[in-house]
Amino acid sequence: MSTNSLFQTYNRADLSFETGEGVWLVGSDGRRYLDMGAGIAVTSLGHAHPHLVAALQDAAAKVWHTSNLYRIPEQERLAARLSEATFADRVFFANSGAEANEAAIKTARRYQYVNGAPERTRIVTVEGAFHGRTLGTLAAGGTPKYLEGFGEPLAGFDQVPFGDVEALSRVVGPQTAAIMVEPVQGEAGVRTLDRQALADMRRVADDNGALLIFDEVQTGVGRLGTLFAYQAVGVVPDVLTSAKGLGGGFPIGACLATERAAAGMTPGTHGTTFGGNRLAAAVGNAVLDVVLGDGFLEEVRRKGAFLMQALGAVVDTHPDVYASVRGEGLMVGVVCTMPVAKVVTAAREAGLLVIPAGDNVARLLPPLVASEDELREAADRLDAAARELEATQADAAVA
Ligand code: PLP
């Protein structure tokens, strides 16, 4: 087998996996890997979680798919539970983070349209943002490298520097439909916008008749120790997007909104064949069963602090490899001194999967069910990877 028949859009590691259990994956090379990437923050409950497997098997033996032309009880239940647990009154289900964000952008523009302000179409985003790879979400993210070669970026997006409230106040105006922001930028390298910056965004949005959209595709579903990040910072958006961890590995995305914000999304304005189908919604409900269970989110917070401390000690010991550690809950970035690609490879050789991000950061996004011992083991393996890199560097210096 080879990758020849695939679009060559990924630089894949020459490794696949045969089985998985919890935080562990067994590679095609027969080795056991400690998975601190969780498929980029997706397998929120680890691999082959018994409750998720049972939910999917049970759903698969009934009806797989009926489309959104009919009522879907699992989807209604998931929407009701997400609304109950958050600020939202309404939920639209999609298949991915990018599609959830497309729904959010359309929701904001329609809100303005039905409220007599059709000229308010612009969405203000933050430099370094990542909102997805559709043409709309690429324009929202504004990263030149991702836009190159795809023609004119979709119109209607303005960007402000990270955390710059003055620039935000200047840019948001009579044509702004919404401000859209990740509370913690994941792909940019785990960059946290502080409570004040998010509160400023809320205020500027309110002062200017704009909506506030939080992209919680990566931060959501327990990753920061609250169901969604906004609940930790206490700044409430009008629209919020979720995906990744919501399906624990089964594709699903969601756009949550207040009734007011969703007012323009009337029949026929948006749709999807697959979004929120029975299998996806059944798994989403099973994920919530666990994440909203007694004490689960407190544990995530406790383990997040533990991981941060364990990594801090490793980082301090290897200044030629690692510079610092940052993040919240179980969304952690190790800023590297060495090129992050080398660190990711050395970690993999030490049996540890981590994810590269912007700012030369190695991300740890472990399954939320990781135990303290497993998190300690991750820190130990990052330590081993650094020792290997230092030894190689020393050898090179002697040669
Ligand atoms: N938004 C954020 C914050 C993300 O981190 C990502 C993916 O990394 C996306 C949107 C896009 O999600 P998807 O790849 O499911 O379309």
Q: Quick one: residue 49, left, alpha or beta (phi over 0 = left, psi -120 to 50 = alpha)?
A: beta
Burial class (CB in 10 A: 0-12, 13-18, 19+), 175: middle
Structure tokens at 18: 């045969």
One-letter identity of residue 139: A
Calculate how far, in angstroms, residue 142's C-alpha sits from the geometric centre of ligand 1.
14
Structure tokens at 346: 């050395």
What's the CA gap between 49 and 248, in Å, rounded? 9
Residue 155 has a pLDDT of 96
For ligand 1, atom 5: residue with the closest CA: 218
Phi and psi of 155, rounded to 5°? -75, 160
**Pure H helices in the chain:** 38-41, 50-60, 73-85, 97-114, 135-141, 144-147, 165-171, 195-207, 229-233, 278-291, 296-317, 340-349, 372-398
Catalytic residue among 200, 215, 238, 383: 215
Calculate how far, in angstroms, residue 313's C-alpha sits from the geometric centre of ligand 1.
31
Q: List all residues whose CB is within 6 A of at least one atom of ligand 1.
A: 40, 96-98, 101, 130-132, 182, 186-187, 215, 217-218, 243
For residue 200, indicate whether it is catalytic. Answer: no
Residue 341 has a pLDDT of 98
Calculate how far, in angstroms, residue 100's C-alpha sits from the geometric centre of ligand 1.
9
Nearest alpha carbon to residue 241 among 180, 185, 313: 180
Structure tokens at 329: 């809950």
Distances from the Cα of 53 to the Cα of 43, 244, 313, angstroms? 12, 17, 37
Catalytic residue among 92, 93, 106, 130: 130
pTM of the predicted model as reported, rounded to 2 decimal places: 0.98
DSSP states of 349-367: HTTEE-EEETTTEEEE---
For ligand 1, atom 7: residue with the closest CA: 132
Q: Which atom of ligand 1 is closest in space to residue 185's alpha carbon?
A: 3
What's the CA gap between 20 and 136, in Å, rounded? 35
For residue 164, indicate whether it is catalytic. Answer: no
Calculate how far, in angstroms, residue 325's C-alpha sits from the geometric centre of ligand 1.
22
DSSP states of 296-317: HHHHHHHHHHHHHHHHHHHHHH
Model confidence pLDDT, tens digit, residues 172-196: 999 999 999 999 999 999 999 999 9
What's the CA gap between 245 and 368, in Å, rounded? 10
Sign of dihedral through CA atoms 108, 113, 115, 121?
positive
For residue 215, indicate whether it is catalytic. Answer: yes
- Structure letter (DSSP) for residue 276: T
**Pure H helices in 86-184:** 97-114, 135-141, 144-147, 165-171
Strand-pairing partners, residue 122, are 176
Element (H, E) at 184: strand 184-185
Catalytic residue among 244, 250, 303, 383: 244
Half-sphere exposure of 267 (CA within 13 A, CB side): 2
Indicate the top mutation candidate among 99, 191, 242, 244 to test ligand 1's pocket, ranked by most ligand atoms within 8 A of CB: 244
**Do the Cβ atoms of 181 and 125 come closer than 8 Å?**
yes
What's the CA gap between 215 and 185, in Å, rounded? 9
- Structure letter (DSSP) for residue 160: E
**Do the Cβ atoms of 239 and 86 come closer than 8 Å?**
no
Calculate how far, in angstroms, residue 139's C-alpha sits from the geometric centre of ligand 1.
14
Low-confidence ranges of the chain (pLDDT < 50): none
**Do the Cβ atoms of 147 and 162 come closer than 8 Å?**
no
Strand-pairing partners, residue 113, are none
Q: Which atom of ligand 1 is closest in space to residue 244's alpha carbon?
A: 15
Calculate how far, in angstroms, residue 219's C-alpha sits from the geometric centre of ligand 1.
10
For ligand 1, atom 13: residue with the closest CA: 97
**Do the Cβ atoms of 191 and 185 come closer than 8 Å?**
yes
What's the CA gap between 94 and 86, in Å, rounded? 18
Nearest alpha carbon to residue 252 among 224, 204, 285, 209: 285
Phi and psi of 310, rounded to 5°? -65, -40
Q: Which long-range contacts (CB under 8 A, 24 or more apart) does 21-26 make?
A: 21/46, 21/47, 21/48, 22/46, 22/47, 22/48, 22/49, 22/367, 22/369, 22/370, 22/374, 23/47, 23/366, 23/367, 23/369, 23/370, 23/371, 23/374, 25/353
For ligand 1, atom 10: residue with the closest CA: 131
What's the CA gap between 50 and 246, in Å, rounded? 16
